[in-house]
């Protein structure tokens, strides 16, 4: 890759790029206005991190930092990680992970949890490469 990757925390001005990438990644259409509103909410515990080359947003990560009542350190979770296909295998995801880890450390977390599919071999390989270990079991129940 000849162009430098810039990684930074998103602002509400990035909401249209976030909506576009969210649709590509999660096939979830959430309006730009709704994303802006959620990002502006003081109760929001997630930070959105963007990866850009020049002015093009090519990937994102979300890091959730939550204070806990029973533990000294905050709970941190990397809740999303996505890089556009044509920019994969170029260090973008690694840069996003490192940036998220720094945010978590600054905000008082001493570990990060990540949930991904047990059949998502590329993601598991990436996370293991960065020192993440298999941990616990996640259960889910629909409330619909």
Question: Nearest Cα to 14, choosing from 45, 51, 66?
Answer: 51
- Is residue 63 situated within a structural domain? yes
**Model's pTM, two decimal places?**
0.92
Name the token pair of 74: 């905050």
Tens digit of pLDDT for each residue in 131-142? 999 998 888 899
Question: How many domains, the chain?
Answer: 1
- Is residue 52 situated within a structural domain? yes
Tens digit of pLDDT for each residue in 123-133? 999 999 999 99
Q: What is the DSSP string of 26-62?
A: H-----HHHHHHHHH-TT--EEEEEEEETTEEEEEEE
Higher pLDDT pick, 52 / 68 = 52
Tens digit of pLDDT for each residue in 24-63? 999 889 999 999 999 999 999 999 999 999 999 999 999 9
For residue 62, give the CATH number of its domain. 3.40.630.30
- Is residue 66 situated within a structural domain? yes
- Is residue 31 situated within a structural domain? no
Tell me which residue range forms the domain holding 61.
Answer: 5-10+46-129
Tens digit of pLDDT for each residue in 80-116? 999 999 999 999 999 999 999 999 999 999 999 999 9
For residue 2, the model assigns a pLDDT of 61
- Is residue 94 situated within a structural domain? yes
């Amino acid at each position: 890759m000849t162009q430098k990757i810039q990684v930074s925390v998103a602002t509400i001005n990035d909401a249209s790029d976030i909506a576009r990438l969210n649709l590509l990644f999660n096939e979830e259409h959430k309006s730009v206005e709704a994303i802006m509103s959620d990002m502006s909410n003081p109760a929001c515990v997630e930070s959105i991190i963007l990866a850009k080359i020049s002015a093009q947003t090519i990937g994102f990560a979300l890091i959730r930092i939550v204070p806990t009542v029973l533990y000294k350190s905050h709970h941190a979770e990397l809740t999303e990680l996505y890089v556009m296909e044509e920019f994969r295998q170029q260090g973008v995801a690694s840069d996003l992970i490192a940036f998220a880890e720094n945010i978590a450390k600054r905000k008082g977390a001493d570990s990060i949890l990540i949930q991904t599919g047990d059949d998502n071999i590329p993601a598991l390989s990436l996370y293991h490469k960065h020192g993440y270990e298999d941990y616990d079991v996640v259960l889910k129940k629909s409330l619909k």
